[in-house]
Amino acid sequence: MIYEPLRVMSMDEMEKIHQAALTILDEIGMRIDSEIALDYLDKVGSKVDRTTMQVKLPKKLVQSYVDNMKRDYDNPERLPERMAVRYSHIRFRKELHKIHPDFTASAGGFCTSIFDLEGNRRWANLDDVRRSIQMINNLTAVDYTGLPVSDQETPYEVRPVVMACELAKYTTKFGGIETFKKADIPYLIDIGTVVKGSEKALKKEPILIGYAEARSPLCLDRNMVEIFMEYIKRGFPQTIDTMPNGGATAPVTPAGNIALGVAETLAGLVLAYAVDNEATVGVDIIPSYADMSNGMYRYASADRMPLLVARVQMISEYYGCPSGVHGGKTDSCFINVQTGIEKAMSTVFPVLAGAVGIGTIGHLENAVTFSPCQLVIDNEVIRYMRRTLQPIEVNDNTLALDVIRRVGIGGNYFTEEHTLKNFRNEQFFSDLFETLPWSHAHTQDVKGMENRAFEKALALWEKKPEPVLDTDQIKAIDKIAARARKEFLG
């Protein structure tokens, strides 16, 4: 395998970014729209202006909590060990910064739209939710999933809870879940408790945990900060996700972009420890650039690839928080060559940089639209990437000197027992990729990867979704959804 991860910064350069982030928090600060959060931050020594809801965090204070986080990561018995999130997972124990051949892949994204197998882009419904989850259950390269699509006929007030119920009933590949408000959290914990058997078991192996995001530049909205604090108070892990958009909500230069994002997530780190000094917390950023022709957030442009590498290096190597990152993305609205290039490159670069996982896959249109056909292709891209990271073994069997002697000069290895015993472990086999002569390829009934993927997606889509929980668990889950409807809809 490839041993050393890609790096785009030296340790001194990462230290400069960290110091810049400390300066941002110390001199400029954050707007945090919560009196309760400001109370917590005030008590630990922050400079709070309640008129403007702005808080400045002294450098020494922030550094002390960064050091505290690193000590927590050094604990080999720390629980939970990991948590699934939208873009794969976060690990809460320190490990060597390296390439991870066992990187995970996540689907999900709570997309509002689906590009269906009849060629229509439309609002997603409940049947789409269940069938998309069933597809993922049958795709071996997908390890986690949130909701690939969300039912747009379910009222938005209860959508996160009702969709979490569907996820719990139909899969064991639990990814992160969207959380619209603090009041969702007790319901999500109840759903996870039904699945895991107890809240203690749920805290040991968290599922269906929502997350909070900063609003760049340098804002934490009331809704997000309340969600964040509620999870911390209840003893569940959290990070503040932040998506600085270079040229729009962050500096267009990579160093400035990352420094701003680091400042935002470090503010979340301080708040977490201010709420609970025993909090399980990490840091996280998801940087990109705005397309200067239309302002859109770029998920898969060439300029974002080194930015993702820098992000993985900064979070995993400098701060010691191994985590997944955006990958398998495209900015295209079509299943075409651009999509293929962007999906491949946004998988290869984060993984070779040392990301422990990537996601979310199965999307078109800047992660707005879910495509069953694209999901099948993305699953194959992940399989392809994992095969490239398979180590080359050097031993008596793999050197095959006896076989080379026997075949000699001008022979062939097709009929050798050694070939029969080893080729399945050494070669990549796919029902989508083709290795055919022109004449054969063009006489097939199903021609090319896109058509093969469509046929496979159609077969998976037509499978009847089957619950993975027992009858009592399903009844308990349905009661939780009914309670949420009563509370939120009246």
Tens of pLDDT, residue by residue over 17-55, are: 999 999 999 999 999 999 999 999 999 999 999 999 999
DSSP designation for 287: -
Distances (CA, A) of 489 to 154, 155, 206, 482, 483: 11, 8, 28, 10, 10
pLDDT (tens digit per residue) in 280-321: 999 999 999 999 999 899 999 999 999 999 999 999 999 999
pLDDT of res. 86: 83
CATH code that applies to domain 11-388: 3.20.20.480
Q: How far apart are CA 392 and CA 1, in angstroms?
A: 6
Q: How confident is the model at residue 176 (pLDDT cuts 50, 70, 90)?
A: confident
Q: How confident is the model at residue 367 (pLDDT cuts 50, 70, 90)?
A: confident
| The token pair that represents 154 in the structure block | 């379910």
Average pLDDT over residues 179-205: 96
pLDDT of res. 356: 97
pLDDT of res. 373: 98
pLDDT (tens digit per residue) in 376-387: 999 999 999 999
pLDDT of res. 359: 87
Would you say residue 267 has pLDDT above 90? Answer: yes
* Inter-residue contact 148 to 126 (CB < 8 Å): no
The helix (run of H) or strand (run of E) holding residue 54 is strand 54-56
pLDDT (tens digit per residue) in 118-145: 999 999 999 999 999 999 999 999 999 9
* Domain limits, CATH 3.20.20.480, in the chain: 11-388
The helix (run of H) or strand (run of E) holding residue 113 is strand 113-115
Would you say residue 1 has pLDDT above 80? Answer: no
Would you say residue 92 has pLDDT above 90? Answer: yes
